[in-house]
Amino acid sequence: MNEPVIDDIWASLRRTTQARIGLGRTGNALPTAHVLAFRAAHAAARGAVHLPLDLQDLVRRATDVGIGTPAVVASRATSRSEYLRRPDLGRSATDLSAVPNTGADIGLVLADGLSPQALDAHGVGLLTALVARLSPSYSIAPPVIATQARVALGDAIGAAMGVKTLLVLIGERPGLSVPASLGIYLTHLPQPGLTDERRNCISNIHPPEGLDYSGAARITALLLTEAQRLGESGVRLTAEAHKNRLLD
């Protein structure tokens, strides 16, 4: 005999968030439907981490954006398993000889990060929106695709490109409600050895539930303009952006 589900007092708030609150209970346990949904979400998150990236397809679609054929860079992590166990290997490249030094204003790196699924789903759409927003004002180098990559790998790529500001579009760590979310990390004057305090992050880009591509491109353009005015990115750029209410 099935026991009735007793709603939690927070159940009405569930309509405002993807977080697992107000699930109710059956006896002393969670309702079976919510237990199964949790297991499915966990499996989806694991799948997003381990899903192989279709590199050829991504190169083809990124080329169609119209800013050049992407160069492909691999980190020193030789497998997904090693990438997860050795974050340090994901921060450095095996070979940067394919990366052209253009001296452009903007460099763009498409990195798989912890969710190749997010890069596959949103990478080219976000790249297209960024190019449309930034190309009238800035020169943009051909994109680089980085595999088994951590954010800091972009520093060496940006230095090899000779760009003033680097944007790393990278798959974010999957959550139990969002397995495919993309983030942008902005670094002005990228060079190897920088720490996270020199970067600015725009996260949760996963339309239709999260930030959409045009919204992310608009925020990026605002931060980019301010970074070029200050001559730096990171903590001070964040403070100036809030002080000047750029992101209101």
Q: Which residues touch 127 (CB under 8 Å, ≥6 apart)? A: 62, 65, 108, 110, 143, 169
Rounded CA-CA distance 82/148 in Å is 9
Give the total residue count for the chain: 248
b/e code 25-63 from CB counts within 10 Å (16+ = b):
ebeeebbeebeeeeeebeebbeebbebebeeeebbebbe
8 A C-beta contact, residue 125 and residue 65: no
Number of H helices, E strands in the chain: 7, 6
Q: Is 99 annotated as a binding residue?
A: no
Q: Is 151 annotated as a binding residue?
A: yes
Rounded CA-CA distance 181/175 in Å is 9
In this structure, the strands spanning 144-147 and 199-205 are unpaired
Q: Is 124 annotated as a binding residue?
A: no
Annotated binding residues for adenosylcob(III)alamin: 151, 172, 201
Annotated binding residues: 151, 172, 201
